[in-house]
Structure 1
Amino acid sequence: MWVYISKNGLDQIDFHDCIIEVINIEHNKLILILESVNVLSEHKLNPYNVAKNTDQCILEFYNVETYESGIFDRNEETKTNIDLINNKDFKILKLDIIEEGKRNLYRIFGVSSSYNNEFSEIIIKAEYTIINWNEYITDAWFVDWPSL
């Protein structure tokens, strides 16, 4: 059982430098096991006044309509489609959410150590998400960074 369960709250979570450890695909559901995430201070489940880093968490996409995964060849500036479940050990640089009617398009951009640290993306079209975690471990990496 999870202590924290957040439905459709990804806009208040920072995914930069988070690692996707495992990817599982079930009927109409796609599951990402993440090393950790940074829950922003404004998230309703964060009781602290600063962003906090979590323990391992699970991000689930429900009623998945489509998904794809690819790597970018730096020399040819082309994208090659790859099997999504093989695109693990993926460091997230950016996660965008684009509303498309009753579904959202989730575009995850990063680098994949499974593919020689090439730039990679995962695109998922799903109805909603749930992210689960059990505890806050430390302040997020960017909490004490100087302001610009």
Structure 2
Amino acid sequence: MHISPHIIATGGEALTKELRQRLRAVWQCSVFDIYGTTEGLFSAECSFGGGMHLFEDLGIVDVVDEHNCPVPDGTLGHKILFTSLFSFTQPIIRYEISDMVTLDPEPCPCGRPFRRISSINGRSDDILYLQGRAGGQVAVHPIHFWDVLESCGDIRQYQVVHE
């Protein structure tokens, strides 16, 4: 392939540190992550590297718990409720996204007024409940498998089966 991109924009799946490093090494360019849904893009990575700014002029993003009650900034939410402010043909009001995110309580050093997502911890409906050593269940998100397996280097593909 004879192309030389200046920037690579990723979205749709979690951009791991390892994948970001591989993309930079192979293509010798910046990697930029975006986040949203088919119904509306609502955040993008800050060019200063400080999380992902919400596009609060284009939509309302509520980070909530299991009962749809707002969680304070700095607290991991169970899901997102997204309301589009730009879709007039088909209004999107409090569209549920099962991603667990944390909003940064601090303002961004870049000076933008919009809040930032400081972490995306995967989908709440992807959690595996495994038997604990001392009894009971332990909640494990598949993203923790990715972190460990990607650090091994020699693994090209894997599958987790939960029965």
> Per residue, is there more strand in 1 or in 2?
1
TM-score, normalising length from structure 1? Answer: 0.29
The two structures have a TM-score, normalised by structure 2, of 0.27
Larger RCO of the pair (alpha carbons < 8 Å, separation 6+): 1
Larger Rg: 2
